[in-house]
Structure 1
Amino acid sequence: MRHVTLEQIFQHPIAQKYINRSGMVHAIAVAYHAFRLANEHGLSVDLAVKAGFLHDIGHYTWYRDGKWDYELYKTNDIHAVKGAERAHKLLIRLGEDPRIAKEIALAILFHTDSFLPSRPIELNSLQSIIKQADEMDEEPGGQHHYRTISYDKALKAIQRLDELVDRTLNQREYVNKYEQA
């Protein structure tokens, strides 16, 4: 059973503020990629879509002389750190299971290595697919953060993804019951 749906997250003012800042189209695309990857690997599609959708919630807008400065961003940004904290707090406020909120926050923390020291970190399966899903939607110079979508179209995409998650979870539950019989 899911405690919090993607639609509940999407409609929250904090999510609207920060995900729109970092690119709603990108967030939705990454959530869909994460769904597919999690489903293929037998991982939690619920955790994957939430982490995929929230992965850039920690972005800050890096400007110099009134223009977005991608190099300033690449050099100084720690959005994964801020995003993990912000997503965790949001999920807890919405009533998410604290263990699930922590797993999602850790996947967000490790979705990029831009803030990490040069030594590699071993990622768990969820963290790995969120990183991969994000990379699948990237465009040069961070342009993936600037695609736009109307609120209504975004909401429909989110509702469709919630339906896919529910259907997948129900199918897995049915298969598990059938196998145990």
Structure 2
Amino acid sequence: MRNVTLIDLFTHPITQKYLKRSGMSHAISVANYAYSLALKSGVNPDLAAKAGLLHDIGHYEWYKNGEWDYEQYRENDIHAIKGAERAHKLLIRLGEDPRDAKKIALAILLHTDSYLPEATIKQNPLQRVVKQADELDEEPGGRHHYRKINKELAFQKICILDKKIEDDLLDFKKTV
């Protein structure tokens, strides 16, 4: 039994606000990649998909003269920090198990190293899955944040992924 589903997250006004800002199509793609990678890696697919969906909800819009400034973003952005905090608060508010909310938030925090000083961070399997999922969907110049998807198709994809997770979670819990 899951306390919070992807549909619960996806339809929440806070998620909708920030997914529109950071790229709904990208978030859904990363959630799907995270789900698939999690199954292959023995990682909880529910936590991976949730972290994948929410991984960029901390994005700030970096504009210069009315246009997206990718270099300004790369130089100044700390979206993973803000996103981890937003995701944790949202998950707790929706009733997620606090331990799982923390795991998801930490995976979001560590999905990118763009804001960290040069260092090697030892990531756990969930954190690696979310980072890899994000990297699989990246496009040069941050274009992955600007792919379009209509709301109905986005909702349909979330419903399909939620059903897959529900089906696979029974098998996953047997192996843990």
TM-score > 0.5, shorter chain as reference: yes
Instruction: State which structure, 1 or 2, has the greater radius of gyration over its C-alpha atoms.
Output: 1
User: For residues 141 and 172 of structure 2, what CA distance do their matches in structure 1 show?
Assistant: 40
2:55 equivalent to 1:55: yes
Task: Give the deviation of 1:119 after TM superposition.
Answer: 1.2
2:174 equivalent to 1:152: no
- Stretches of structure 1 lacking an aligned partner (at least 5 in a row): 177-181
Which of structure 1's runs of 4+ aligned residues deviate more than 3 A?
Answer: none
Whether contact under 8 Å (2:92, 2:101) holds in the other structure is yes
User: For residues 133 and 156 of structure 2, what CA distance do their matches in structure 1 show?
Assistant: 21
Deviations 1:72-105 (A, max 9, x none): 0000000000000000000011010110000000
In the TM superposition, what are the counterparts of 1:163-178 in structure 2 within 5 Å?
163-173=163-173
User: What TM-score do you get using the length of structure 1 for normalisation?
Assistant: 0.95
Q: 1:150 to 1:105 in 2, by over 3 A?
A: same
Residue matched to 1:129 = 129
Task: Give the deviation of 1:8 after TM superposition.
Answer: 0.4
Paired positions, count:
176
User: What TM-score do you get using the length of structure 2 for normalisation?
Assistant: 0.97
Residue matched to 2:83 = 83
Deviations 1:13-69 (A, max 9, x none): 000000111000000000000000000111100000000000000000000111100
User: For residues 55 and 38 of structure 1, what CA distance do their matches in structure 2 show?
Assistant: 15
Task: Give the deviation of 1:117 after TM superposition.
Answer: 1.0
Note the aligned Cα RMSD (angstroms).
1.2
Task: Give the deviation of 1:170 after TM superposition.
Answer: 2.2
In the TM superposition, what are the counterparts of 1:15-164 in structure 2 within 5 Å?
15-164=15-164
Residue matched to 2:7 = 7
Deviations 1:124-171 (A, max 9, x none): 100001000000000000000001111111000000000000010123
1:156 partner amino acid: Q
SS across alignment from 2:2: coil
Q: 1:65 to 1:115 in 2, by over 3 A?
A: same
User: For residues 41 and 118 of structure 2, what CA distance do their matches in structure 1 show?
Assistant: 28
User: For residues 12 and 157 of structure 1, what CA distance do their matches in structure 2 show?
Assistant: 16
1:169 partner amino acid: L
SS across alignment from 1:131: helix
Residue matched to 1:179 = none
Whether contact under 8 Å (2:44, 2:172) holds in the other structure is no
SS across alignment from 1:43: coil
